[in-house]
Amino acid sequence: MNIDLLSIINNVGTKIDFEGEVNFTDNEVTVNSNVTGQVLNFAGRLEVSGQVNATVKTLCARCLTMLSIPLSFNIEETVGEDEVNLDGTILDIDDIVNKNVLVNLSIKYLCSEDCKGICSNCGADLNVSKCNCEEDVIDERFAALKNLLINKQQDREVD
């Protein structure tokens, strides 16, 4: 969503209201948001303020179930500062919203605090059912250590 600020750039105290949708995908996160706000020429500075109500679609960090998380926050930016720049007289609201959404996201999301995740061997969702993998699967790199333990136990049984 682009806003032409030509009408307020040289008129202190004037403002432009805006409203629209900003949608984007970044890595495995899809964001659909509604944005309302205004750009105000305050003492020669262009101030952007608004409210973002978004739905974030991402995967559970443990079991990879698709999650839909609501996210709401306010934006307060100054054109020329805060890495917000004009392209001539055009202000790109999408860019401002994208940056602010990414800052407000958590590092990871879980479907529940007690999510069991997926089996690292067969990929079964452990929240749904228990997998049939062997419990004591040994990493091949540690097989020699396992053999030492077995040999030590056999030596004790012989004594």
Rounded-to-integer distance, Cα 122 and Cα 120, Å: 6
Rounded-to-integer distance, Cα 48 and Cα 16, Å: 10
Over 80: is that where the pLDDT of 87 sits? Answer: no
Cβ contacts of 107 within 8 Å, gap of 6 or more: none
Q: Considering its fold, how many domains does the chain have in total?
A: 1
Query: Which structural domain range is residue 106 located in?
Result: 1-159
Task: State the average pLDDT for the chain.
Answer: 85
Contact 55, 31 (CB under 8 A): yes
Average pLDDT over residues 51-79: 92
pLDDT band of 2, cuts 50, 70, 90: confident
Q: Which residue has the higher pLDDT, 134 or 63?
A: 63
pLDDT in tens, 97-108: 888 888 888 888
Q: Please give the C-alpha separations between residue 57 and each of 21, 60, 128, in angstroms, as whole numbers.
A: 16, 10, 21
The pLDDT of residue 66 is 93
The pLDDT of residue 140 is 76
pLDDT in tens, 18-64: 999 989 888 888 999 999 999 898 887 888 899 999 999 999 999 99
Q: Which residue has the higher pLDDT, 79 or 40?
A: 40
**SS3 sequence of the chain:** CEEECHHHHCCCCCEEEEEEEEEEEECCEEEEEEEEEEEEEECCEEEEEEEEEEEEEEECCCCCCEEEEEEEEEEEEECCCCCCCCECCEEEHHHHHHHHHHHHCCCCCCCCCCCCCECCCCCCECCCCCCCCCCCCCCHHHHHHHHHHHHHHHHHHHC
Provide the whole-model pTM. 0.69
The total of other beta-carbon atoms located within 10 Å of residue 61's CB is: 15
Over 80: is that where the pLDDT of 143 sits? Answer: no
Q: Above pLDDT 90, what percent of the chain?
A: 27
Rounded-to-integer distance, Cα 84 and Cα 10, Å: 18
